C-alpha cells in the first residue's frame, strides 16, 4: 500500500482501511500521490543552490520535509473543511468519486483526521522553525506566508477565485525562490523567474481539477477562477499557461541564465500536444471508451497532471545537466 498510495490515490473500503498500518493510513489520508509536485519544487530549489556552489544537505532536507508535510497538512485540512461545510457530502460529490474522502467515507472521524493533520503540521512547523533560526526574519516571513496558505487555501481563498493564484505563488516564488533563500541565505529574482515554468505546471493541475468540478462548484457557491470566467476561457487559460512554461525556459536560455541543456524540456511537447487537444474541447459527459474508467471523473486534471509530471521531471533533469555544465565546464 505504501508504493500504491505514492503512485495513485487508491480506492478502498472500510474493511481494507482497517487492515492498513498507520503509515499507509497517513499516505492515503494525505493524498501522498500528489505530494511529488511539492518534492519537485524542493528539488529545483536545491539544484539551483548547488549550481551556485551553495548547497547544504541539512537545510535542503529540512526544507523538503517542511514543504512536503505542509502540503500533506493542507490536503487533510482541505478534506476536513470541505466535510464540515458539506462540500463533499454524498456519493456524487467530485472528491468522493476519485478517491477516499476519509471523513465522508467513514474511514476516520473528524477528530482523527484533525489529529493526523495537526501532527503533520507540527513536523512542518518544527522544520520551518529551525530554518528560521538559521536564516532569520525573511525566513520567518516565508514561513508565515506558507502557514497562511496552508490554513486559508480551502476557505476562503478557493471560494473567492484566489486559489489558483495561491498555487502559482506557493509552488514557484515561495517554495523555489524561498527554498533557494533558506538553503543559500541569498534572495535572487532570477531564481524566482526560473521557478515560474514549474509553478505554472502545478497551476494547470489545479485549473484542470477546478474545470472538472465547475458544475458542482457553481451549484455549491464555490467561486473558483474557472467558475468565474467560464469553462471555455478556463480551458484556453490552461493551454496558455502550458505554452508559457516553454516560452519562459526559452527566454532563460536566450538570456543565458540557463545553458541550452534546459531545452531537454522540449521532450515533454508530446504530452503538451495531447493535453492541448483535450483542453480544446468541452468535457465529455462520460469517459471515452479508451479512457480508464477508474480514473473518472478526473478528466482535465488527469491530462494536466501527466503533462506536469513529464515537464517537471525533464525540468529537473535539465537543471541537473545545467548545473553540471556550470560547475565543471563554464
Q: By the 8 A CB rule, do 209 and 75 touch?
A: no
- The C-alpha cell of 154 is what? 480551502
Ordered per-residue pLDDT tens for the chain, 330 residues: 788 877 777 778 788 888 889 999 999 889 888 888 899 899 999 999 999 999 999 999 999 999 999 999 999 998 888 878 777 676 656 666 667 878 888 888 999 999 999 999 999 999 999 999 999 999 999 989 988 988 888 788 888 989 899 999 999 999 999 999 999 999 999 999 999 999 999 999 999 999 999 988 898 888 999 999 999 999 999 999 999 999 999 999 999 999 999 999 999 999 999 999 999 999 998 888 888 877 788 899 999 989 998 999 999 999 999 999 998 876
State pLDDT tens for residues 303-315. 998 999 899 999 9
d(CA 177, CA 195): 7
pTM: 0.87
- For the chain, the domain total comes to 1
DSSP structure string for 72-136? HHHHHHHHHHHHHTTTT-STTSHHHHHS--TTTTTSS-HHHHHHHHHHHHHHHHHHHHHHHHHH-
Per the rule left: phi > 0, alpha: psi between -120 and 50, beta: everything else, 93 is: beta
Domain holding 153, by residue range, is: 2-328
d(CA 154, CA 250): 34
Amino acid at each position: 500500500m505504501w508504493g500504491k498510495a505514492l503512485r495513485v490515490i487508491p480506492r478502498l473500503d472500510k474493511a481494507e482501511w482497517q487492515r492498513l498500518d498507520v503509515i499507509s493510513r497517513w499516505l492515503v489520508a494525505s493524498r501522498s500521490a500528489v505530494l511529488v509536485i511539492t518534492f519537485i519544487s524542493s528539488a529545483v530549489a536545491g539544484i539551483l543552490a548547488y549550481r551556485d556552489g551553495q548547497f547544504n544537505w541539512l537545510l535542503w532536507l529540512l526544507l523538503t520535509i517542511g514543504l512536503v508535510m505542509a502540503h500533506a497538512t493542507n490536503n487533510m485540512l482541505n478534506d476536513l473543511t470541505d466535510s464540515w461545510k458539506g462540500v463533499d457530502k454524498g456519493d456524487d460529490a467530485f472528491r468522493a468519486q476519485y478517491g477516499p474522502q476519509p471523513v465522508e467515507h467513514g474511514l476516520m472521524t473528524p477528530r482523527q483526521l484533525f489529529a493526523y493533520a495537526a501532527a503533520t503540521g507540527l513536523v512542518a512547523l518544527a522544520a520551518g522553525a529551525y530554518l528560521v533560526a538559521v536564516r532569520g526574519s525573511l525566513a520567518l516571513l516565508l514561513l508565515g506566508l506558507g502557514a497562511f496558505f496552508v490554513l486559508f487555501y480551502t476557505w476562503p481563498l478557493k471560494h473567492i477565485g484566489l486559489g489558483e493564484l495561491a498555487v502559482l505563488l506557493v509552488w514557484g516564488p515561495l517554495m523555489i525562490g524561498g527554498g533557494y533563500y533558506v538553503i543559500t541565505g541569498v534572495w535572487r529574482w532570477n531564481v524566482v523567474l526560473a521557478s515560474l515554468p514549474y509553478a505554472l505546471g502545478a497551476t494547470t493541475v489545479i485549473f484542470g481539477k477546478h474545470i472538472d468540478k465547475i458544475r458542482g462548484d457553481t451549484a455549491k457557491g464555490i467561486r473558483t477562477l474557472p467558475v468565474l470566467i467560464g469553462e471555455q476561457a478556463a480551458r484556453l487559460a490552461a493551454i496558455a499557461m502550458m505554452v508559457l512554461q516553454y516560452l519562459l525556459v526559452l527566454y532563460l536560455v536566450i538570456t543565458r541564465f540557463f545553458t541550452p541543456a534546459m531545452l531537454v524540456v522540449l521532450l515533454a511537447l508530446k504530452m503538451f500536444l495531447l493535453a492541448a487537444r483535450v483542453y480544446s474541447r468541452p468535457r465529455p459527459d462520460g469517459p471515452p471508451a479508451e479512457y480508464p474508467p477508474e480514473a473518472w471523473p478526473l478528466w482535465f486534471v488527469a491530462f494536466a497532471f501527466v503533462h506536469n509530471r513529464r515537464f517537471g521531471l525533464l525540468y529537473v533533469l535539465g537543471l541537473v545537466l545545467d548545473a553540471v555544465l556550470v560547475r565543471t565546464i563554464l
